[in-house]
Structure 1
Amino acid sequence: MGKRWLVLLLLCLTAVLGRGAEEIVTVNAPAAEIPAETKYIALTFDDGPRMGTTDRLLDGLKERGASATFFLVGERVAENRQLVERMAAEGHQIGNHTWSHVRLQGAGEATIRQEIRKTQETLEQLVGKGDYWLRPPYGQMDEKERSYVSVPMVQWSVDPRDWEKRDVQKVKKAVLAAAKPNVIILMHDIYPTSVDAALEIVDALEEQGYIFVTVKELLALNGITPQPGVLYRSGKG
């Protein structure tokens, strides 16, 4: 059974176990072998998409059977529509990183709503209706500002500062040192060094038994029902 199928099976089982016993239908099917201590982890990318880096990253993720979450800057979507369509087709989670990568903390209600709405509408026109979760640029929003957001929000629990280091081995070392089940890793798919580091990280962690899933899958596998306006930092909440 491939890693992707294992994730989908466990998500289905999680949903079934959360229902009442009277709703569960028994079918004659062979029992699936589910590892007792599967290690799930989420790799996320900000600031794309960008041709020349994001496409190479998608190639590498597909080759490795790894899923990721991409938080897209709205104004970059139209000129890279093929990359966005490919993300959706290959099972990655697509998220909203505002229209122009503006800092939402302190921006005011009108700006916050507009920055989110424009990207939401662009993504819906391109890949269909959906709840495109938000990653606020720079990761911070005040409690009042969060009330303007109608979808779950995602921060991170591991930040290797790949945008600053621009060094494959330094970024890889930082992530591997902090990696553990249920963390959300922050990276940026607009830098060649980040793409190279990300693929080496996937190789290294898959050898350790990790399975790369989307943020939405990570929360679901932990039995968490995401709430609008709540900022999630890891698979544990």
Structure 2
Amino acid sequence: MTSADDGPNPDYTEELLSGLKERGVNATFFLLGKEVEKYPDIVKDISDSGHLIGTHSYEHVNLSNLSDAAAIEQVDKTNAAIHDITGKYPEYIRPPYGCWKCNLDYETKMIEVLWDVDPKDWATDNSGVIAKRVIDKVEENDIILLHDASESSVKAAFAIVDELKKEGYTFVTVEEILME
């Protein structure tokens, strides 16, 4: 299962959507509210393509460093922006840096989603290295963290999907994996 963070990205998200469609794969996109407001057409494309949309915060801040009110604002503002475009409120959140405030579970009623495999694709532009980091480590039911903000990450995503499908893996959204 693959998920993409930090988008939507005007240069790479559409390329990722196209390649996932060719491969018959749905993923989960954890979006930044600030980017959602800038690129509503891309958000609509993500939703219309059958991918799951989750919240990543409004400005990619460490929510655990904020007051409760400020953290809730980061979440609520993003959820509202996504709802305005898709008609649906996200149910899942991936907090930036994996840092969540446990007391916000009650306030937001969202399900926190982290990851099992992080190839640190943001730290290299070598798609082969990114793909190898995932393929060497991934196991059944793992959540793979990738970003849709660079060409290398998108190419790595395609290589990962192609190789793991050959190995018998299937790709689903986080909702499908968490609700099993």
Tell me the TM-score range normalised by the shorter chain: over 0.9
Counterparts of 1:199 and 1:50 in 2: how far apart (Å)?
17
Match of 2:158 in 1: 199
Tell whether 2:145 aligns with 1:190: no
Match of 1:58 in 2: 17
Kept after mapping to 2: 8 A contact 1:109/1:148: no
Match of 1:155 in 2: 114
Counterparts of 1:88 and 1:122 in 2: how far apart (Å)?
13
TM-score, normalised with respect to structure 1: 0.73
One-letter amino acid matched to 1:191: S
Deviation digits for residues 26-75 of structure 1, max 9, x if unmatched? xxxxxxxxxxxxxxxx1011000012200000000000001100000001
Other structure's SS at 1:102 match: coil
Tell whether 2:69 aligns with 1:110: yes
Match of 2:132 in 1: 173
Return the offset for 1:90.
Answer: 1.2
Return the offset for 1:156.
Answer: 0.4
Match of 2:174 in 1: 215
Kept after mapping to 1: 8 A contact 2:80/2:89: no
Higher gyration radius (CA): 1
Counterparts of 1:171 and 1:211 in 2: how far apart (Å)?
19
One-letter amino acid matched to 2:18: D
Match of 2:102 in 1: 143
TM-score, normalised with respect to structure 2: 0.96
Return the offset for 1:145.
Answer: 4.2
Tell whether 2:57 aligns with 1:98: yes
Match of 2:47 in 1: 88
Other structure's SS at 2:93 match: coil
Return the offset for 1:106.
Answer: 2.5
Return the offset for 1:135.
Answer: 0.7
Counterparts of 1:151 and 1:213 in 2: how far apart (Å)?
19
Kept after mapping to 2: 8 A contact 1:105/1:145: no
Counterparts of 2:60 and 2:91 in 1: how far apart (Å)?
16
Kept after mapping to 2: 8 A contact 1:50/1:189: yes
Return the offset for 1:214.
Answer: 0.2
One-letter amino acid matched to 2:157: A
Moved >4 Å (runs of 4+): none
Kept after mapping to 2: 8 A contact 1:158/1:184: yes
One-letter amino acid matched to 2:90: D
Counterparts of 1:203 and 1:162 in 2: how far apart (Å)?
18
Counterparts of 2:89 and 2:68 in 1: how far apart (Å)?
22
CA RMSD of aligned residues (A): 1.2
How many residue pairs are counted as aligned between the two chains?
180
Q: When you count helix as a share of all residues, which structure comes out higher?
A: 2
Kept after mapping to 1: 8 A contact 2:34/2:59: yes
Counterparts of 1:51 and 1:143 in 2: how far apart (Å)?
33
Return the offset for 1:166.
Answer: 2.1
Identity of aligned residues (%): 39
Residues 35-50 of structure 1 mapped to structure 2, 5 A cutoff? 42-50=1-9
Counterparts of 1:145 and 1:134 in 2: how far apart (Å)?
11
Deviation digits for residues 166-219 of structure 1, max 9, x if unmatched? 211110110001111100000110111000100111000011111110000112
Counterparts of 1:157 and 1:146 in 2: how far apart (Å)?
21
One-letter amino acid matched to 2:144: I
